[in-house]
Amino acid sequence: MANTNLQFKTNYTVSSKIEPFYKGGKVQISKDEKHIFCTCGSHVNVLEISTGKIVHSVEHDDQEDITSFALSCDDELLVTASRALLLKQWDWRQAQCTRSWRAIHTVPVASMTFDPTSTLLATGGCDGTIKIWDVVKQYCTHNLKGSSGVVHLVQFHPDISRLQLFSSSLDCGIRLWDLRSSQCVCVLQSHYSAVTSLCFSADGGTMVSSGRDKICTVWDVNTRKAKRTVPVYEAVEGVVLLPENKDFSQIGVKSKDLHFITAGSKGVLRVWEASTARCVYTQTLPSTLIPVCGEEEEEEEEEEKDDDHRSLTYLLHLPNSSRLATVTAEHNILLYQLPGLTTQQQFVGYSDEVLDVKFLGKGDSHIIVATNSCQLKVYELLTNSCQILYGHTDTVLSLDVFKKGSLFASCAKDRSVRVWEMDSDSGQVRCVAQGSSHANAVGSISCSRMKASFIVSGSQDCTVKVWDLPADLSTAGTGMCQLTARATEKAHDKDINSVAVSPNDKLLASGSQDRTAKLWSLAGEGNLGLLGVFRGHRRGVWAVCFSPVDQVLATSSADGTTKLWSLQDFSCLKTFEGHDASVLKVIFVSRGTQLLTSGSDGLVKLWTIKTNECVKTLDAHQDKVWGLHASRKDDKMVTGSADSNITVWVDVTEVELAEEQAKQEDQILKKQELSNLLHEKKYLKALGLAISLDQPHTVLTVIKAIRQGEDSRELLEKTLLKLRLDQKESLLRYCVVWNTNARNCLDAQAVLQVLLTHLPPEELLQYQGARTHLEGLIPYTERHMQRIGHLLQASMFLNYMWQKMRVAGAPSSMGQDEEMDTTPLAQSQPFLMIDKEKGKGSGEERQDAGDDSDSGQDEDPNCPVEEEEDDEVSATKKASTCGGRIANGESTKTNGNHHSESEESSEDEDVEEDKNEQTKMVKCLPVSSAPQCQTFAS
């Protein structure tokens, strides 16, 4: 199998998600042009335009769908209306409801708008009434009746001094309300279908209305008369007046007359000259290229269907940045830059069911997504910006990417296959080849593995086709190659769900609804050669996949199992059972040693082949996971589901290994630098570097080096006082650790003496956990003092016994009552001669003991002070030591009666040292009378 040193994957974590944020309804852009507000069920989502990410979201507590909303002109207030007939006022930046009240409407609110002062709110209901609300004083000011049916449009006149409100309902008229008298002063009649939008000129004297009756009307607001009716030959959903005194010659504006832009059912923006009713510019979009069917009737049907997909539902003007925003029927939001109407940004609000997803581009920087749509969507993972690809005329069903990573293939219900190429510099994708000769929907496609030489497609017509690609495909310019199938084979008795090409491009596998998978030879120039059949699944085969290293094929089935098959004898090697429903996709990871499977139960499972074990189950989605793909570096995967969500996952194992390796390399470099600093006696820099490593033993090494030099006390004091506040805080924490061990307590006490002497109590108490650290120092310090007291007492006893021995060996003339010599032991001459070998051994023992006190070799294994090589093993091991616990203040929470393992160890060491000292003293004492001592002396 694969490399035995390979690290198995154990888990995946979510790196990013692409979720639906707009499912139809109203769209509004903030006045500062930084955010897009849009409805998504019971939410109003706020999309940040610069990043393409949802930054805020508000939701009604009753989880009722929001029927309408309005953002005030100063971007401060957001008011929403739900089907529960509640109006809620929001601080949308904090996602907090500041006020809610019952709408007086008897049925849900259909439209809402603020006046230019952001104090009045108009709501149009499905009951044919309009309410005006004072949102500052919080009461209803007007109740306007007279509209017939649903009031789907309300809009204040931009000149607030006029106090006028315009509305439209099912009678197709535009009502003008005088808010002073609460009366409808006139009904503007021009349209014969629903009025969709109104826009006003800068001076407020001219208004343009649009409707689904395929006309736009220019009105004189002062005389309340129609000045011009412009037939636009499409159902218009939005109209925007072009600003005056700006150069729009790029889009056909040649005169200073009034011009406006329309958006509607044809899916393109068009510029109209009001005075002549003439279209001066039509936006061009990527065509659908060559239709699949040649008959005229079918071509017309395809065009009408395509128009439905591309039709525009909203048109919004961003005057500050001179941009336009359009909303499509497929819930895509596109931003265009004036005056050239160049596409600037595209956001996909709702993708419907995700049918397939693949990584794309250099370094897997993009993903290509096939949804329940004829359009393909290419997302840039870094910014979530989307590129929408037109070409297929029916739902795209499957995708595959060539090894190069910038070339991919797609197939669809329109019976065609297409090859697309991404430009490495601009990131733009274009269709470079197309083929269509299947008799039914093409459900699966696979690319050649070694180089971009051919593609294989499997269809519902039960055939498999092999399409050769021209060698100069990527250099064919802007033209598109027409592909011809070099081999066609009736492969199965039912629909073909999956095809896969082997890593060496010599074999082909196919899986079908007829419950079988088949192996084919691709080596011949003519037809495909059948090599064998894999039988064993009880239901249809959903996916087939070759191992990247072994002669093994993996299949997944609707019977809930995944099987591994031998390519030699077509026998079943292993069966993996764990999904509760159909297993829709299977892929190899970890160089062929593990499998990833996804099912209609919404789960993704990670399997280790050798042990036949499910290592991890990821509760990834709420519905069928159709899309599953691993990156070329095998460090991440992407899943796409019928719940419309796309999730990018990162291999936790790879992340941990990379972080640990980088951390170890960084520590090695820092320790080398630390050694150089100590050699150069740059103690301040050395101490700061050691503290940054967060290793108490390394810091202790620097402290010992400082205390070994000349004028160590002054040098230590000078060095410590120059440290930063956070470094002193860490040092205090380390002192608590060092003080638990008798061998390092002198260094800890030396540091504490400097800190406690020179730092005011107010500063010390600001340190994190300072009280706990200081409380933890007290019991150990008391024990060290007791031990030193015992040693002093023992030394006095030794001094006393020494003098007694001198008296016993003195001349007879010395009186019994003669005063004892109290000269210190170190200053007196040795009277007894001890055996040289034994003395040498004792000296060595003492020397070794002194070395141990510096090296820390005999420390308690649970003590945090460890050797440097132990610190480098793993972060987990470091975190499990006492050092981590004491540093977090857990083991240092003591009241004087608390005894930890380190304390008991220190006590045992103290008792052992005292016993050793007493034993040495006993060896020096006389065994019997003075003559015996005299004998030893001789």
Short-list 283, 237, 542, 582, CA closest to 397: 542
Q: What is the pLDDT of residue 660?
A: 63
Structure tokens at 15: 């790196």
Residue 452 Cα to chain centre, angstroms: 33
Phi then psi for 926, rounded to 5 degrees?
A: -70, 145
**3 state SS of 913:** helix
CB distance 504 to 551 below 8 Å: no
Question: Residue 200 — very low, low, confident or very high, per pLDDT cuts 50/70/90?
Answer: very high
Give the mean pLDDT of 11-17: 87
Q: Which of 409, 417, 423 is CA-nearest to residue 474?
A: 423
Q: How far apart are CA 17 and CA 639, in angstroms?
A: 10
Could you tell me the CA-to-CA distances from 575 to 443, 564, 611 in Å, in that order?
26, 7, 11
- Between residues 308 and 97, which one has the greater pLDDT? 97
SS3 content of the chain, % helix, strand, coil (to 5): 25, 35, 40
Q: Exposure string (b/e) for 67-87, b if CB count within 10 Å is 16 or more?
A: bbbbbbbebebbbbbbeebbb
Widest distance between CA atoms in the chain: 145
pLDDT of residue 765: 75
Tell me which residue of 470, 498, 634, 477 sits closest to 554, measured CA to CA: 498
Residue type at position 902: S
Flag whether pLDDT at 588 surpasses 80: yes
Per the listing, tokens 């490593």 go with: 693
Q: What fold, for 353-472?
A: Methylamine Dehydrogenase; Chain H (2.130.10)
Cβ atoms of residues 114 and 71 within 8 Å: yes
Token pair listed for 784: 């060290």
pLDDT of 401 above 60:
yes
Taking the C-alpha atoms of residue 920 and residue 225, their distance in angstroms, rounded to an integer, is 120
Identity of the highest mean pLDDT range in 125-129, 694-698, 853-857: 125-129
Tens of pLDDT, residue by residue over 287-313, are 544 444 444 444 445 545 555 667 999
**Closest Cα partner for 412 from 305, 530, 514, 548?**
305
**Residue (of 159, 157, 170, 56) closest to 124 by Cα position:** 170
φ/ψ of 702, rounded to 5, equals -70, -40
pLDDT of 892 > 60? The answer is no
* Cβ(378)–Cβ(364) below 8 Å: no
How confident is the model at residue 810, as a pLDDT? 58
pTM strictly above 0.75: no
The position carrying tokens 């069920």 is 41
Burial class (CB within 10 angstroms; exposed 0-12, middle 13-18, buried 19+) of 922 = exposed
Identical fold between 353-472 and 494-654: yes
CA-CA distance, 95 to 113, in Å (whole number)?
A: 20
Residue type at 109 in one-letter notation:
V
Percent of the chain with pLDDT over 90: 45
User: Sorting pLDDT into bands at 50, 70 and 90, what band is 715?
Assistant: confident
Q: What is the mean pLDDT of residues 386-399?
A: 92
- Look at residue 802 in the predicted model and tell me its pLDDT: 82
**CA-to-CA distance for 301 and 296, rounded, in angstroms?**
9
Q: What is the domain partition of the chain in residue ranges?
A: 353-472, 494-654, 681-791
Mean of the pLDDT values across residues 565-590? 94
827 falls in which pLDDT band (50, 70, 90)? very low
What dotted CATH number matches 494-654? 2.130.10.10
Measured distance between the N- and C-terminal CA atoms of the chain, rounded to whole angstroms: 81
Radius of gyration of the chain (CA): 42
**Count of helix runs (H) and strand runs (E) in the chain:** 15, 57
- Which segments of 776-863 are extended strands (E)? none
Residue 818 burial (CB count, 10 A)? 10
pLDDT at 333 over 50: yes
- pLDDT (tens digit, 9 = 90+) per residue, 620-639? 788 999 999 999 888 899 99
Nearest alpha-carbon partner for 330 in 380, 418, 390, 408: 390
Q: Is 124 exposed, middle or buried (0-12, 13-18, 19+ CB in 10 A)?
A: buried
**Closest alpha carbon to 100 in 151, 56, 58, 156:** 58
Read off φ and ψ for residue 760, nearest 5 degrees: -65, 150
684 backbone dihedrals φ, ψ, rounded to 5°: -65, -50
pLDDT at position 865 is 37
The first and second tokens of residue 644, run together, are: 């419309």
> With 90 as the cut, is the pLDDT of residue 35 above it?
yes
Q: Is 70 exceeded by the pLDDT of residue 835?
A: no
DSSP 376-438: EEEEETTT--EEEE---SS-EEEEEE-TTSSEEEEEETTS-EEEEEE-TTT--EEEEEEE---
* DSSP helix/strand/coil, 522: coil
Tell me the average pLDDT across 414-436.
90
Residue-wise pLDDT for 514-545, tens only, equals: 999 999 998 766 678 999 999 999 999 999 99
Dist CA 932 CA 610 (whole Å): 80
Strands of 620-742, DSSP E: 625-630, 636-641, 646-651
657-667 confidence digits (pLDDT tens)? 666 667 767 77
Q: Does residue 933 register a pLDDT over 80? A: no
870 CB-near residues (< 8 Å, 6+ apart): 877
Question: In whole angstroms, what is the distance from residue 610 CA to residue 550 CA?
Answer: 13
What is the distance between the alpha carbons of residues 112 and 77, in angstroms, rounded to a whole number?
A: 13
Q: Which residues contact 795 (CB under 8 A, 6 or more apart)?
A: 825
The single-letter DSSP state of residue 717 is: H
Contact assessment for residue 416 and residue 395, using Cβ atoms and an 8 Å cutoff = no
Tokens of 105: 């409407």
The tokens 């219900």 sit on which residue?
413
The answer to whether the Cα torsion of 746, 747, 749, 753 is positive or negative is positive
Put the strands of the sheet holding 332-337 in their side by side order. 312-318, 323-328, 332-337, 342-348
Chain length of the chain: 938
The SS3 call for residue 842 is helix
Top mean pLDDT of 190-199, 679-688, 920-929 is at 190-199
pLDDT higher than 90, residue 443: yes
Angle at 368 between CA 554 and CA 37, to 5 degrees: 130
Q: Is 96 helix (H, G, I), strand (E, B) or coil?
A: strand
CA 927 to chain centroid, in Å, comes to: 80
Mean pLDDT, rounded, of the chain: 81
Q: What is the pLDDT of residues 479-496, one digit of tens each?
A: 788 999 989 999 999 999
Other beta carbons less than 10 A from residue 359's beta carbon: 23
Torsion angle (degrees, nearest 10) of CA 190, 191, 196, 202: -20
Burial of 259 (C-beta count, 10 Å sphere; 0-12/13-18/19+): buried
> What pLDDT shows up at residue 722?
85
- Compute the average pLDDT of residues 279-294: 64
The winner for highest mean pLDDT among 69-78, 668-677, 685-694 is: 69-78
User: What Cα–Cα distance (Å) separates residue 402 from each residue in 361, 428, 450, 477, 756?
Assistant: 10, 17, 8, 20, 68
